[in-house]
Amino acid sequence: MLKTIIKREFLNNIINLRFMVGLVLCVIITVACIIILAHDYRQKIEDYYLRVNLKDEILSNYATRGRIIAMYPDQKPPERFRPLIIGISGDENVESFYDNPLPILFPPFDFLFIVTIIMSLLAILFSYDAITGEKQRGTLRLVISNSISRTKVLLGKFIGGTASLLIPFILSLLVGALYISMNPSIHWDGSAWAEFILLTAASVTFITLFYLLGLMISAFSRYSSTSILNCLFLWVLLILVIPNLCPYISAHLCPIPSIKETKRKVSEISIRSKAIAREYMRESVKRFRSHYGKLWSEFESMELGGIGSWYLGRKDAGPEHREAAHQRAAADPEFKAMMDAFREEFEKVQKEQLRLQGEPTKKIWNELKTKAALQTKLAKNLACISPFANFVYVARDLTGTGLRSMEYFVQVQREYYTQFDKYLDKQVQKAEKTDPTFTWKSFLDLSDRPRFVFKEEALKDKLIEVLPYWGILVLFNVVFFVAAFAGFMIYDVR
């Protein structure tokens, strides 16, 4: 009997106008979206390689110790799922005077949008009159008058209805997958396809959730017109209101210090520590002057060979002064001893200044980071009452296009920086040994530097992260089904 009900529900739906509309909408939009985003992906890849080459060119030709910090390679390749989902690390998040304002006014459109807005709406349209419609037509009374349990009727309606709803969706995804596999600029490996299958499964969980929401409302309504209004009311709340309000509510509940204020505090610490270092340096100069007398005056005429000029508030020495100091040191051991002692003194001051500045600065930034993380966590947890937010977390984290992938990228980047720092120190030491005139502005040969390679996070780790949110989606399904069941058990079919 269950089979008959499923078949009847399925056939009823597919000859209905809403099935045709859903099919057309789904296939056209999904395929158009994938084709356009795949083209966009190709452009992003080209842009990414251009940026990588540009950085390479800078590091190969203009690397100096002073400016190398600004040049750490931090290029994130476009997400491999970009033909489906636009990641949140796009241009719109770059703090630049020349940024494009349009993405802020018109957020981008992708597969996530299709599932969360279009498919959830379609699911409601398929189920809002599953019970009320039959009641109004009088067929529900006839069905129940036979020897069939209400549980079977409800289960049959759910299975048959979701099957007919998922046909357009799966069909459009298959066409999209075919396009992706045939596109020469998209190279998906086994793990990407596995993520794609998991994404499809998560989408199905989300779509059935909204089908069940419609079914539940229908089981508690007498008329289809009331049912659809209630469904759309809940849809608006769950999809459009709750998720968008949560970050703002959390910002009120858990405020964070202003970034500019934090920067100001950091800058104050830096100014204070530099002032102390300058004072110390001036004292050192006095000591050296009284100790070395004429030899020191000679060294001063060479602009101290460029050592500690910034701390002393002097202009940086030119190459001619550095060369002169180097030659003088090579010819006179006493001059060399003075120069080495002064360099040692300078390095001591530099270290002291970094110590004075480093710890408090780190503390301030950590405080901001902790508070921001707390605010984000609160917003994230608050938004979990909406299935929309749960699905967004699952889909984005699973495909490496969300907040977690950004955190993962930062972690990978940090590991690379540590490796690069070690390499850099070695290169600087080597250069200082071979060239005594070496300064922060001298060219550094970095041709054998370690290269930055970004590898996607392991699927297992991603899955562990998304399972709780996926679990909430399943829980929503169960709750809605149980509620629909309870409503239907006491439903007056007359």
Binding to other proteins (CB under 8 A) within 375-434 occurs at 375-376, 379-380, 383, 389, 392, 396, 402-403, 406
Is 319 near other proteins (CB under 8 A)?
yes
Judged by CB under 8 A, which of 205, 250, 413, 427 binds other proteins? 250
Is 31 near other proteins (CB under 8 A)?
no
Distance CA 245, CA 487 (A): 31
Is 71 near other proteins (CB under 8 A)?
yes
Is 97 near other proteins (CB under 8 A)?
yes
CB of 421 to other proteins, least distance (A): 19
The contact pattern for other proteins, residues 349-378, with x = CB under 8 A and - = no contact, is -------------------xx--x--xx--
Is 54 near other proteins (CB under 8 A)?
yes
Nearer Cβ to other proteins (91/334): 91
Is 468 near other proteins (CB under 8 A)?
no
What part of residues 106-165 is at the interface with other proteins (CB under 8 A)? 106-109, 113, 117-118, 121, 125, 129
Nearer Cβ to other proteins (334/407): 407
Judged by CB under 8 A, which of 4, 181, 244, 297 binds other proteins? 244
Enumerate the β-bridge partners of residue 64. Answer: 443
Nearer Cβ to other proteins (369/430): 369
What part of residues 202-241 is at the interface with other proteins (CB under 8 A)? 224-226, 228-230, 232-233, 236, 240-241
Nearer Cβ to other proteins (306/481): 306
Judged by CB under 8 A, which of 443, 445, 461, 482 binds other proteins? 443
Is 256 near other proteins (CB under 8 A)?
yes
What part of residues 262-301 is at the interface with other proteins (CB under 8 A)? 263-264
CB of 67 to other proteins, least distance (A): 5
The stretch among 59-67, 162-170, 350-358, 415-423 that binds other proteins (CB under 8 A) is 59-67
Nearer Cβ to other proteins (68/212): 68
Judged by CB under 8 A, which of 414, 426, 441, 461 binds other proteins? 441
Query: How many residues bind to other proteins according to rule CB under 8 A?
Result: 99
Judged by CB under 8 A, which of 1, 11, 21, 337 binds other proteins? 21
Is 104 near other proteins (CB under 8 A)?
yes
Q: What is the 3-state secondary structure (H, E, C) of the chain?
A: CHHHHHHHHHHHHHCCHHHHHHHHHHHHHHHHHHHHHHHHHHHHHHHHHHHHHHHHHHHHHHCECCCCHHHCCCCCCCCCCCCCCCCCCCHHHCCCCCCCCHHHHCCCCCHHHHHHHHHHHHHHHHHCCCCHHHHHHCHHHHHHHCCCCHHHHHHHHHHHHHHHHHHHHHHHHHHHHHHHHHCCCCCCCHHHHHHHHHHHHHHHHHHHHHHHHHHHHHHHCCCHHHHHHHHHHHHHHHHHHHHHHHHHHHHHHCCCCCHHHHHHHHHHHHHHHHHHHHHHHHHHHHHHHHHHCHHHHHHHHCHHHHCCCCCCCCCCCCHHHHHHHHHHHHHCHHHHHHHHHHHHHHHHHHHHHHHHHHHHHHHHHHHHHHHHHHHHHHHHHHHCCCHHHHHHHHHHHHHCCCHHHHHHHHHHHHHHHHHHHHHHHHHHHHHHHHCCCCCCCCECCCCCCCCCCCCCCCHHHHHHHHHHHHHHHHHHHHHHHHHHHHHHHCCCCC
Is-contact 103 91, C-beta < 8 A? yes
CB of 261 to other proteins, least distance (A): 5
Judged by CB under 8 A, which of 251, 337, 464, 478 binds other proteins? 251
Nearer Cβ to other proteins (4/75): 75
